[in-house]
A and B are shown apart, each in its own frame.
Chain A
């Protein structure tokens, strides 16, 4: 099984640090970790970037992550939402895979499987 190359978008430093560790523990490589929407979008502008999927926090300090989710969808990159809110408010992504915070490693592992299948 090849290593999944992922990006992580999460505004809370503490949560980001743990997620990075969890992802590494689960055999992934975190190729980019962002706390702001702008930072992730400008990283994505370089179309030569190659990665297999993304874990997206929904609410980035009041800013919704959906423009990035749409950009990923346009590029055919699968993603999983991680959220403390109950559901996804944007109907375009209502069917996207979702894990809840606090993050359960089992749930994260299952979500990674869905990324692996979609990648």
Chain B
């Protein structure tokens, strides 16, 4: 409790205008929301200036928003006016304080909006004059010229308000960042579990077909590396869409890369959603492994032509993709129809993209063809 007989060194009494001003600035530094700032400003500004009413006005695009008020009679709380049609807008647009002793003698005032109110004179000052974000108005019920002292005090409150509003914005953006972080951690957990489930699947599938422990390790490692390559690509692109060309380059890197000679890849720029990019990467890996083992990449003169195009005439625009091996002169023995690679190619990719896929084993090597409608998973860049 403050008493009038304060000992030396304690705060001045509450009635001291300077003390009230300091107290207001302290209160403003402690609030964390725009509404909190408005609440402090409306009561303090009225007390400090001795006005009959005070309004706190926020700039909202090209409108003035009368956010809060404290007055002997209702003003415009909750209403919005165009910046060019009210005096708070004038103060913000002109970046200066305006003093009006008789509002009905000043044509910057929209008189119709004032007639239902008690207001006869006012001071309006912008908050953060170099780039106003708000304005504070003090109103009196009679015609009078607001004093220099009243105007200066209102300007001091406006300066403290500018800092408080910046704090509120910073606090809001900090909270937003924290919420985003929480969301990302949850998403990361989900992605990790999905990836572990995929690894589990790869282990299961590889084990089902493995002829020996060595062969299991060999095939499993290759598939894990393909998956790791796909994720690396996605991480580089910050888990946004990946380009088909990049997916092909990354998936075929371990097989000599897309060099334009032995392995050729041609088509328009296509983007794949992250999950589809992983599936595509894995599928191309399986095709390449198969080509090394049974097809055209196992012979010196062999190669692969990868082509894709978008059929714009089709009712729903469709991607046609093909992997065609050439010069695989070896006697090709088609793998069993139940192999993991085949299932991933014919079932997985088509399923993922909502299209149709087919693998054929021809004398020159394997031919994989895919038709899939463009969608949010696969699109023209």
Contacts and interface: CB of A to CB of B under 8 A. Distances in A.
Interface string A74-107: 0000000000110000000000000011110000
B186, B282, B352, B354, most chain A CB atoms within 10 A = B352
Interface stretch (A33-41, A64-72, A109-117): A33-41
Contacts of B349: 13
Contacts of B52: none
A44 interface: no
B275 A18 contact: no
B39 to A, nearest CB: 36
Interface in B211-242: none
Contact of A16 (B189, B208, B340, B348): B348
Given A18-B205, A35-B352, A84-B190, A13 B196 contact: no
Contact of B354 (A13, A18, A36, A103): A36
A27 interface: no
B252 interface: no
B204 interface: yes
Interface string B258-273: 0000000000000001
Contact of B344 (A17, A34, A61): A17
B275 A102 contact: no
Contacts of B367: none
Contact of A61 (B190, B198, B273): B273
A33 B202 contact: no
Given A85-B190, A101-B194, A14 B354 contact: no
Contact of A102 (B197, B208, B348): B197
Contacts, number: 78
Interface of B is mostly: helix
Given A85-B190, A101-B194, A33 B201 contact: no
A13 B347 contact: yes
Nearest to B338: A21
Interface in A1-49: 11-18, 21-22, 33-36, 39
Contact of A12 (B204, B275, B343, B347): B275
A105 to B, nearest CB: 9
A64 B204 CA distance: 27
Given A18-B204, A85-B190, A102-B193, A13 B377 contact: no
Given A17-B343, A21-B208, A85-B190, A102 B377 contact: no
B279 interface: yes
A62 B60 CA distance: 34
Contacts of A101: 193-194, 196-197
A64 B349 CA distance: 21
Contacts of A36: 354
A36 B375 CA distance: 12
User: 3 closest A-B pairs (Cβ-Cβ)?
Assistant: A13-B348, A84-B193, A18-B201
26 contacts: A11-B275, A12-B194, A12-B275, A12-B279, A13-B279, A13-B344, A13-B347, A13-B348, A13-B349, A14-B202, A14-B279, A14-B282, A14-B348, A15-B197, A16-B347, A16-B348, A17-B201, A17-B205, A18-B200, A35-B354, A100-B193, A101-B193, A101-B194, A102-B193, A102-B197, A103-B200
Interface of B: 186, 189-190, 193-194, 196-202, 204-205, 208, 273, 275, 279, 282, 340, 343-344, 347-349, 351-352, 354, 377
